[in-house]
Amino acid sequence: MQTDSSFTFVLFGGTGDLSMRKILPALFEAHRAGGMLADSGKIVAVARHATDRGEYIQWVNEHVKPHVSKNGVDEAAWASFLERIEFVNIDLGKAEDFVHLRDAIKDLPGIRVFYLATGPSLFVPICHALASVGLNENSRIVLEKPLGYDLKSSNAINDAVGEIFAEEQIYRIDHYLGKEPVQNLLALRFGNALFEPLWRREWVESIQITIAEELGVEARGDFYDNTGALRDMVQNHLLQLLSIVAMEPPHSMDSDSVRDEKLRVLRALKPIDPRDIGKVAVRGQYHSGVIRGTAVPAYATEAGVRPDSTTETFVALKVEIENWRWAGVPFFLRTGKRLADRVAEIVVNFRAVPHSALGASALRAGANRLVIRLQPNETIRLYCLAKQPGEGMNLASVHLDLAFDQFFREGQMEAYQRLLLDVINGRLALFVRRDEQEAAWRWVEPILNEWKASNKPPKPYASGTWGPAASSAMLAQHGTCWLEEEN
């Protein structure tokens, strides 16, 4: 992506964890690649934990530099990247301080991008403060998740931000939408005649979407204990991935065409009757266990977590889509912390052949499946059956493997790098529109309400396993199982 678009990128929360690990490294990689960022583009960090530019640059060298470029840092590129960075020290809680920000950037060129890498409680005050000094005009604003705690609070934030910024100025970021395999999922479906005829209820038996983490809550115990896995992962990442897997072909790849089709999927999600939640939703909480040979503590003993917490760290769901293409096909979603491996993948299980002259092995579930791996290694793998060498007609599973790092020799673009470039260049297709977000919250909220009303504790699972046994039992009722042997 070459660009001549000049920009001023204002980063609120400039000394935060997200800025340190993701945003600034992504901007550096775009800078280092050459041609992706206009030479005149500037990065303006806003924070309280540094007094001036010199102190901030020292912080960047100490904390950000270790997170850039896996193959080492090009010192010349790093030095020129630092020249892009300016710094403004203001108190985000004081609207009058934003005069200093306005004065600092008034002569800087190009489109203004305001990235709110802060807690959601600051979103509205920052927007009001920007408007008070006229910085909401001819600009773009990026909102990180979580955007609200439920539908009501999400609407309140969207209403307040929407009074200051038009919808086409608002970029609600979900970094999973920027991952290379997600882009390749669109290419796979809509760029090839091979798969689209099979991408429907007549040929698909079930679909699984998993986002599993080995890590616990780390230093985010306070935040996570008031959030939980359903809000943190399902309402956004998993439902966005589901909508891309299940969407109808858009007439083009412009922003509203893609997002219109995703919205249709989210609105077609079958509402869950509160009486059936125990059958189609599993919630769990990790206990102590072993991850890669190291003992790890139970969730309830983590720093910042209430000892009697009933917050879920694991969720598995059975989801149905009420439309012509997907009626009757179960979608199984799963996410959790302290699981057996770090993996994110989409598994499309195709139906078995209707009759086999080759023996029972040709009729087994999952004989034909497509596995789209998002992390840690990005691959697409197609499984089918082939004859084993030797006497007789004995079938065995074989696969075709597309490993992107081997097929494409040039380096892949990280999700945040792609999304930040899209913001700078005004491309909205990979960002969540307000009506999408509302539809997702509307579907999730009955589950949240039922769990709260029932006051039942989450099912325990040992760290280092794949979650509660009830998760596997839910799939067994449909004659299938989670794909775990490849991880």
Report cis status (omega within 30 of 0) of the bond before 146.
yes
Residue 1 has pLDDT above 60, yes or no: no
Q: Where are the domains of the chain?
A: 7-144, 177-413+432-476
**CATH of the structural domain 7-144, one choice from 3.40.30.10, 3.40.190.290, 3.40.50.720, 3.30.565.10:** 3.40.50.720
Residue 485 has pLDDT above 70, yes or no: no
pLDDT tens readout for residues 174-210: 998 998 888 888 888 898 888 888 999 999 999 999 9
Residue 293 has pLDDT above 70, yes or no: yes
Rounded CA separation 247/260 (Å): 9
pLDDT tens readout for residues 148-157: 889 999 999 9
Rounded CA separation 171/368 (Å): 38
Q: Mean pLDDT over residues 273-302, rounded?
A: 94
Report cis status (omega within 30 of 0) of the bond before 389.
no
Rounded CA separation 15/25 (Å): 13
Of the candidates 31, 175, 237, 287, the residue annotated as catalytic is 237
Beta bridge partners of 294: 291
Rounded CA separation 266/441 (Å): 10
Q: Which fold has domain 177-413+432-476?
A: Dihydrodipicolinate Reductase; domain 2 (3.30.360)
Per-residue pLDDT at 7: 95
pLDDT tens readout for residues 102-121: 999 999 989 999 999 998 88
Q: 3-class DSSP state for residue 204? A: strand
Look up residue 332 and give its two tokens: 């199984």
Task: Check for a shared fold between 7-144 and 177-413+432-476.
Answer: no
Q: Is the separation of the CB atoms in 23 and 11 below 8 Å? A: yes
Query: Quick check: is 237 catalytic?
Result: yes
Rounded CA separation 253/477 (Å): 38
Nearest of 348, 349, 406 to residue 377 by alpha carbon = 406
In order, the DSSP letters of 83-150 are: TTEEEEE--TT-GGGHHHHHHHHTT--SEEEEEE-S-GGGHHHHHHHHHHTTTTTTEEEEEPSP--SS
Per-residue pLDDT at 487: 43
pLDDT tens readout for residues 405-426: 677 766 678 899 999 999 999 9
Q: If pLDDT is split at 50, 70 and 90, which confidence band does 38 have? A: very high
Distances (CA, A) of 297 to 218, 270, 294, 304: 11, 37, 10, 13
Which amino acid is it at 358? L
pTM of the entire predicted model: 0.91
pLDDT tens readout for residues 443-473: 999 999 999 998 889 999 999 999 999 999 9
Per-residue pLDDT at 378: 81
Q: Is the separation of the CB atoms in 477 and 330 below 8 Å? A: no
